[in-house]
Chains A and B, each alone.
Chain A
Amino acid sequence: MRLHNGTLFAGVVYLMLGIAFALEAMEVWAIRIGDLRFVAPLALVILGLAVVIGSLGRANRQT
């Protein structure tokens, strides 16, 4: 099996967005439109994590 980083990244972002807004709809917490400014930097952090994890995985396979 070969891990596809882009798909993993998209999956994590969608999962987090889905959980966050489902909880918002259930009034567990409140997300205001101004809070959406955090989405892009968070996505960038997750993308970075996906790249790091992917490269670590490749390094482990090579050794």
Chain B
Amino acid sequence: MVVGGLWLFDALDVIDLRVAIVLPMALAVIGLALIVGSFDGPHTGLVVAGAFVSIAVLAVAVTPADAFHGGIGERNISVTDQSTLAPSYDVGVGELNLDLSDLTMTESDEIDVTVGAGDLTVLLPQDVAVDISASVGAGQVNLLGETADGLSVNRAYTSDGFESATVTLTLDLDVAAGNIRVER
């Protein structure tokens, strides 16, 4: 009844339903049903259903909203001309190798790179000041040889003289589950 009602409101554009909202609400409804039902004995089936919904809620909660855009597979991207440099690169599940080592830059730029589940490797351009922000939900970050791993790993690196440099590169790297490796 609750799910049907929400679905109806969504179809009528009264509310904007997202999985990240629907699943926790379904879990809360299951919880309420169990609390009320606990006065009437055990409800094993509903408890098991709640366990599965809980796992789904946690999985959805820790996954960035755009983590699984960009498809599945291995992508090897090499950019040498700044005019062909995209503002963002995405892979849903797989591996993304972004080779900027031969990139010639004439002006400052920013790139967002996202991998849902898998490995992300970035080779930095030579002699360009960089500001890197790297986040991994679960896995490892290796920023120019300095590694950190675990859950919710956030690391940053800024080149010496970044603020005064005329040409800079800002990288925002995000992997939900997997590894980030940045090398120069």
A2 partner residues in chain B, CB cutoff 8 A: 39, 41
Q: Is the interface of A mostly helix, strand, loop or mixed?
A: helix
In the complex, which residues 33-62 of chain A have their Cβ closer than 8 Å to any Cβ of chain B? 33-34, 36
Q: Is the interface of B mostly helix, strand, loop or mixed?
A: helix
Interface residue B144 (Cβ < 8 Å from any Cβ of A): no
Q: How far is the CA of A7 from the CA of B138 in the complex (A)?
A: 32
Chain B residues in the interface with A (C-beta under 8 A): 18, 20-21, 23-43, 47, 50, 53-54, 57-58, 61-62, 137-138, 151-152
A12 partner residues in chain B, CB cutoff 8 A: 31, 35
In the complex, which residues 1-36 of chain A have their Cβ closer than 8 Å to any Cβ of chain B? 1-8, 10-22, 24-26, 31-34, 36
Q: How far is the CB of B150 from chain A (nearest CB, A)?
A: 9
Is A14's CB under 8 angstroms from B28's CB? Answer: yes
Is A11's CB under 8 angstroms from B24's CB? Answer: no
Is A17's CB under 8 angstroms from B24's CB? Answer: yes
Is B31's CB under 8 angstroms from A11's CB? Answer: yes
Q: How far is the CA of A10 from the CA of B53 in the complex (A)?
A: 12
Is A25's CB under 8 angstroms from B31's CB? Answer: no
Is A18's CB under 8 angstroms from B137's CB? Answer: no
